[in-house]
Amino acid sequence: MAEGPRQFTSRLRFQLASAARDSAAKAAKSKTIANSLEVVKLPSGEFVVESPFYWAVYYHDGRGAIRARPGHKLVYFRNPDDDPRIGGAARNYPKKRSDIRRLTKAQFYRFLRDPNSGMIVRDSVGPSKGDPFFTRGLRNFPARAGRAVVVEVSKFITETLGDEILKAHVKVRFRI
């Protein structure tokens, strides 16, 4: 049974969102971000492209300077593979702020004593430029979107009209 217009438009919106996701993922310098992008259907029926990582927006847009809370320090590692909070080479990055893990006191002092640990301790850090991968990626979006539209419309016409399409000569042109 052929699908109706609602199913068609939903499928088309999903394909367009997928094309946007693919464009953004190709433009992202971070493999973690690129691999995390997913198309999500909202209750309204809209499709959005998002990353589950709370910090993806900071990666994309950049961030201002950060200062440690009184009595605390900012701690990071030169090489993320050495950071036990993200599982070392497993790179289990936190998705929600509540997922952020702190070093234990014993870990902190052990790394502090080891000059080769790669741990960096600061009271504050300056701003960081972002990587606007969505902006870069969407420059290629019109070509991807056009292909997705042509494929989905052709599929819809063939499924809806079946053999009738063979009896007519149809020229379809899309302008995006």
Tens-place pLDDT, residues 53-65: 999 999 999 999 9
Report the alpha-carbon distance of residue 90 to residue 158 in Å, rounded. Answer: 47
| DSSP for residue 6 | H
Q: Which residue has the higher pLDDT, 143 or 33?
A: 33
Token pair of 176 as six digits: 């995006």
- Average pLDDT of 119-138? 93
- Quickly state the pLDDT bin for 163 (edges 50, 70, 90): low
The pLDDT, as a whole number, for residue 61 is 94
Report the alpha-carbon distance of residue 171 to residue 59 in Å, rounded. Answer: 44
Report the alpha-carbon distance of residue 13 to residue 47 in Å, rounded. Answer: 7
Residue 176: pLDDT over 50: no
Cα–Cα distances (Å) from 105 to 77, 109, 110, in that order, read 16, 6, 9
Which of 78-82, 94-98, 118-122, 140-144 is predicted least confidently?
140-144
Q: Name residue 121's beta-bridge partners.
A: 75
The pLDDT, as a whole number, for residue 1 is 53
| DSSP for residue 63 | B
- Average pLDDT of 98-112? 93
Residue 89: pLDDT over 50: yes
The pLDDT, as a whole number, for residue 30 is 92
